[in-house]
Amino acid sequence: MSFSDYDLVIVGSGFFGLTVAERAATQLDKRVLVLDRRGHIGGNAYSEAEPETGIEVHRYGAHLFHTSNKRVWDYVNHFTDFTGYQHRVFTIHRGRVYPMPINMATICEYAGRYMTPDEARTWVAEQASEIDSKDAKNFEEKGISLIGRPLYEAFFRGYTAKQWQTDPKELPAATFSRLPVRYNFNNRYFNDTYEGLPVDGYTAWLEKMADHPNIEVRLNTDYFDVRDDIPAATPTVYTGPLDRYFDYSQGWLGWRTLDFEQEVLRTTGDFQGTSVMNYADEDVPYTRIHEFRHFHPERANYPSDKTVIVRAFSRAADKDDEPYYPINTPEDRAKLESYRELAKAEAGTRNVLFGGRLGTYKYLDMHMAIGSALSMFDNKIAPYFTEGRPLDGSVDD
């Protein structure tokens, strides 16, 4: 089929793109073409079995599904069942292991004694009183003002220096999100209503979303190689890098990226006893180790004498790297505003909408990407096809 035979073109086969494609195909009976430059479906959520062990590995870093949005939860359950997995994270600092986020177990283990919740609140408040939060001038001062110097230096200083490759004193105070201190022993990483992992893996879930006679997926196809062949009247949802679409005309938007070092261990069936272990100390070059067998303890076919671990390293992204986290400096925000104006105009001239993590320069968890895609379909794409309404290219914060 030629490009003129399709009602809608989607650039990118991640969760955002496939959600829009599935809705347009099933709800509007539209013919949808999905393009992806990679050789596999699913974007960064792609998972695959490691050949030697059969253990499912998330190629682009661990993906944990969680949401409190019932509409999103009901939607995704059309395509997969979920396990009862609940994510828990631990961190190693100076040879000792602590649960994260900071909770009563973390505080008591760090202090070397039991505290009541009231005693822990008093202890943290005393430590945090060193710096008034409103006077904090950088990331380090902000962290100390919120959780105190001992907890900050143990769990955030070295980890942040590795994550950003920058002394935390050189990072803006706003970079330190207010991470809650839990004054109970709840060590669930997420507090969302719904949580779990897809029973048959992410790739099976994503393939089911695309399994419709109205949807064609073309892999190994770079949109920019075929863009001029797509009729200007054909609506396009672009989920690639926003600045790349406009040939970096307003400047390059900064991102952090991750490098992964995968290893099959053949002398043990359990390396660390948990799915994710963070390494807080700066002299350890990686930020965390994933051991993927622990994401699916229910799978009896995993070998008992082998395991797969993946070390994650963080650094600034170059233009050819896979972008993960927007840096969002003031300079980035200024460029983003210019790109948003261009994107808004592009909806009127070429019927192009921008969505997803890369297309909006936002870090979106999976559930957020799906929810955003459902909103785009409801508010922009469906009215375009059913009412003849012009496409709205505005991007909300």
Query: Domain ends where: 113, 144, 176?
Result: 176
Beta strands in 2-123 (DSSP E): 8-11, 32-35, 47-49, 56-58, 65-67, 89-93, 96-100
β-pairing verdict for 65-67 and 276-279: unpaired
Q: Could you tell me if residue 135 is inside a domain?
A: yes
Do 346 and 238 belong to one domain?
A: yes
Do 172 and 70 belong to one domain?
A: no
Q: Cβ(370)–Cβ(72) under 8 Å?
A: yes
Alpha carbon of residue 118 to chain centroid: 35
| Phi and psi torsions of 383, nearest 5° | -60, -30
Do 18 and 70 belong to one domain?
A: yes
Do 109 and 168 belong to one domain?
A: yes
Domain count, the chain: 2
Do 344 and 202 belong to one domain?
A: yes
Do 117 and 241 belong to one domain?
A: no
Do 48 and 151 belong to one domain?
A: no
Q: Cβ(48)–Cβ(56) under 8 Å?
A: yes
The parent domain of residue 125 ranges over: 103-176
Beta bridge partners of 218: 35
Least Cα distance to 110 among 276, 312, 280 occurs for 280
Q: Could you tell me if residue 268 is inside a domain?
A: no
pLDDT tens, per residue, the chain with 397 residues = 789 999 999 999 999 999 999 999 999 999 999 999 999 999 999 999 999 999 999 999 999 999 999 999 999 999 999 999 999 999 999 999 999 999 999 999 999 999 999 999 999 999 999 999 889 999 999 999 999 999 999 999 999 999 888 889 988 887 776 667 899 999 999 999 999 999 999 999 999 999 999 999 999 999 999 999 999 999 999 999 999 999 999 999 999 999 999 999 999 999 999 999 999 999 999 999 999 999 999 999 999 999 999 999 999 999 889 999 898 888 999 999 999 999 999 999 999 999 999 999 998 999 999 999 999 999 999 999 999 999 998 876 5
Do 124 and 238 belong to one domain?
A: no
Beta bridge partners of 261: 311
Alpha carbon of residue 166 to chain centroid: 22
Query: Domain ends where: 176, 206, 236?
Result: 176
| Phi and psi torsions of 197, nearest 5° | -120, 145
The answer to whether the bond into 101 is cis (omega within 30° of 0) is yes
Do 373 and 245 belong to one domain?
A: yes
Q: Could you tell me if residue 92 is inside a domain?
A: no
Alpha carbon of residue 220 to chain centroid: 23
Q: Could you tell me if residue 396 is inside a domain?
A: no
Q: Could you tell me if residue 289 is inside a domain?
A: no
Q: Could you tell me if residue 191 is inside a domain?
A: no
Do 233 and 332 belong to one domain?
A: yes
Helix (H) or strand (E) holding 250: none
Rounded to two decimals, the pTM is: 0.94
Q: Which residues contact 116 (CB under 8 A, 6 or more apart)?
A: none
Q: What CATH number does residue 349 fall under? A: 3.40.50.720
Q: Could you tell me if residue 190 is inside a domain?
A: no
Place of tokens 């347009």: 24
Give the whole-angstrom CA distance, residue 367 versus residue 376. Answer: 14
Q: Could you tell me if residue 311 is inside a domain?
A: no
Do 219 and 342 belong to one domain?
A: yes
Do 229 and 349 belong to one domain?
A: yes
